[in-house]
Every structure is written in structure tokens, then in C-alpha cells.
Amino acid sequence: MSTSSSPQPQGTVTKSKFWLISFAILAVIVVIAAILTFTNERAKAYCVYAFKDDHFSKGDKMYSTLPPEKYRKAPMSLALYRLIRPITEHDIDSIESDSEKKDSLKLKINPLLEPYLIETHDRTTIAPPSYFTGNYLGSGVQRIKYYDSPQITYTVVDAIVPGSLSIDNSDPTVPPEGYIWANNTYYCPAHGMKNAPGKTE
């Protein structure tokens, strides 16, 4: 005599399929989100900031994470960054020059240029034991060109009021061709700042 298994209730099969399809859709969404996050430099920089870097409120004291503790023996100078932006026709019209010179400058405007941060020759002194750097103004994702890199990348930077400021008037930093200073604010990469003073060994 042949035997046969009892058929599963139709509702159980439908429910299993529903959860399987839901899980598959969720997995696809997670994968797509991960791909978009880690292929988008701006999003990736913000994720690092959100989960790894210290956060501040306006006016908070900021302390450098540099140098490594074993080197914290004496004061050091810390490089400051400033934001540059592409020059515009309005900028050119505002300078004191003849119309022929202005027309020549306008022809050199490159519409493909974008703002970014550059390292300046201006410095703030950080000293043991705390390595206080300055006071926090705000933060955001910016394009940045580090001094030792030819590439422009994205990172989160903190706008600061330096605790001390040394401006190198003998060798002032000049924006590259096609750019001017966007503002007078100084910036530091957020990964180099923390909200508690350091300790010496």
C-alpha cells in the first residue's frame, strides 16, 4: 500500500514565500545602500565622522590628536587649512584694473572648477600637556588637498578659531590660478581633533 505525505496547509506555504521574498528585497536594499555609501566619497567621509570622530558644540575647546603620545615632549606647530573657490566675473569686476585686463581674466574662468581646502603656511601652536588647538565653530564635508598628496579627496573638517595664530607674511599662501579665498575661516580635518586634552607620558 502506497503512502503519501500530508500536504502542507496553503497558508503556511504562502507565509513562507512572503518572508523569503521580504528577506531577499531587504538584502538587495542593504547591498545597494552599502555600494552607494562606499563608492560615494562624500557619504563615506560622513560615515567615518559620524561613527569614529569626536563631535563638538559651538564654542567647545578642541585638542589635537597629534602627535602620538610618545612624541608629546614640546610645543609643535599645526598646519591650518583654508577654503578656496573658483573666481567669478563678479570678483573680477570688483578689482581695480582696466577693462582690457578684466576681459582677459574673464576669458580664463574655468566653469569646471570646484571649491576645496588647501593647507596654508599659517600655523597654530599646540603645546603639552593638553595640545589645545582652538574653539569649535562648525563642521561639514569638504573637498581637501593635503600637502603631501596630489589628489583632492573628501573629508569632514572642523571650522575653528585657533588658540594661537602665526601668519607667515614672508611667504603667504596663494590660491592656485583660477581660485580666490572663499572666506577667512581656518579649518582642521575632523579626524585630527578630539574633545578631551591629551596626556604626556
Give the start-to-end residue ranges of the domains of the chain. Answer: 10-39, 61-194
Asked if 180 and 52 touch (Cβ cutoff 8 Å), the reply is: no
Is the distance from CB of 145 to CB of 104 less than 8 angstroms?
no
Calpha distance 64→160 (Å, rounded): 12
> What is the secondary structure of 55-100 as a DSSP string?
---TT-EEEE--S-GGGTTS-EEEEEEEEEEE--HHHHHHSSS-HH
Find where cell 584694473 sits: 97
Which position has the higher pLDDT, 156 or 67? Answer: 156
**HEC assignment per residue over 5-23:** CCCCCHHHHHHHHHHHHHH
Greater pLDDT, 42 or 183: 183
Taking the whole predicted model, whether its pTM rises above 0.85 is answered as: no
Cell of 89: 566675473
Cα 157 from Cα 155, distance rounded (Å): 6
Integer Cα distance of 125 and 121 in angstroms: 13
| pLDDT tens for each residue of 30-82 | 766 555 555 577 777 777 787 888 899 999 999 998 766 555 677 888 899 99
What pLDDT sits at residue 89? Answer: 92
Measured in whole angstroms, the distance separating CA 56 from the mean position of its chain's CA atoms is 15
Residue 135 CB-half CA count within 13 A: 5
Determine what percent of the chain is predicted with pLDDT higher than 70: 83
- CA 59 to chain centroid, in Å, comes to 20
189 — pLDDT class (breaks 50, 70, 90):
very high
Helix and strand totals (H; E) in the chain: 4, 8
Label residue 182 by pLDDT band (50, 70, 90): very high
Three cell numbers, residue 126? 599646540
